[in-house]
Amino acid sequence: MRLKRLSAVMLACLVLSACGGVDPASPLGKRKAIFKQMLHTSEDMNGMLLGRLTFDAATFAASAETLDGLAHQPWQHFPQVREQDHTSAKPEVWERQARFQQLARSLEAATGALVVASRARPLKDLDLDQPMQNVESACKACHREFRDH
Ligand code: HEC
């Protein structure tokens, strides 16, 4: 009986440490997962524009929709009070909410514009360079101000 409980505890620890000590069901775990998905999605899109992956208009357009959907999601998972551990969000996120929200809206605007650009037919990868760069700049602008590296 005691042994059983011990192994349950150990299992829970293993599961937690597999994700860097962050509970995937917590607000922190949820926003980190969304940010990671945004990164993976944008990496593949950049890959297509840089020639690392074959450019395919339909795939790119679908990824733009996915990225735009994801871009609206992380913000609700920043709770009222900052977590003490495992977060790389600077205290400024909570201290300068208006500015943080402004940069969140600017990412959403950039991903929205990317969706519109990716609906053009015929779709040329060259026409997507600028809208994609605007998205990347929106990511970087916020990380520069609000993320600890
Ligand atoms: C409005 C601000 C803001 C914007 C815009 C933003 N991020 Fe972030 N990002 C953050 C903050 C804050 C964190 C730290 C989250 C934490 O650890 O609590 C973060 C963390 C991350 C992480 C690390 C997740 C982890 O596992 O720790 C990745 C990857 C990431 N962002 C990718 C992106 C990408 C890609 C974009 C653009 C498509 C983007 N972010 C746009 C604020 C932003």
Give residues with Cβ within 8 angstroms of 84, minimum separation 6.
none
- pLDDT value at 96 more than 90: yes
Residue for token digits 């505890």?
A: 9
Task: Find the 28 Cα to ligand 1 centroid distance in Å.
Answer: 11
Measured from the CB, is residue 93 less than 6 Å from ligand 1? yes
- pLDDT value at 136 more than 60: yes
Task: Find the 149 Cα to ligand 1 centroid distance in Å.
Answer: 11
Task: Give the span between the Cα atoms of 36 and 70, in whole angstroms.
Answer: 10
Task: Give the span between the Cα atoms of 103 and 147, in whole angstroms.
Answer: 13
Residues 49-80 have pLDDT tens digits of: 999 999 999 999 999 999 999 999 999 999 99
Residues 3-56 have pLDDT tens digits of: 555 455 444 544 554 446 899 999 999 999 999 999 999 999 999 999 999 999
Residue 21 has what pLDDT?
86
Task: Find the 39 Cα to ligand 1 centroid distance in Å.
Answer: 9
Query: How buried is residue 78: exposed, middle or buried, by Cβ count under 10 Å (0-12/13-18/19+)?
Result: buried
Query: 2-11, 44-53, 110-119, 120-129 — which is least confidently predicted?
Result: 2-11
Write phi, then psi, for 72 (nearest 5 degrees). -90, -5
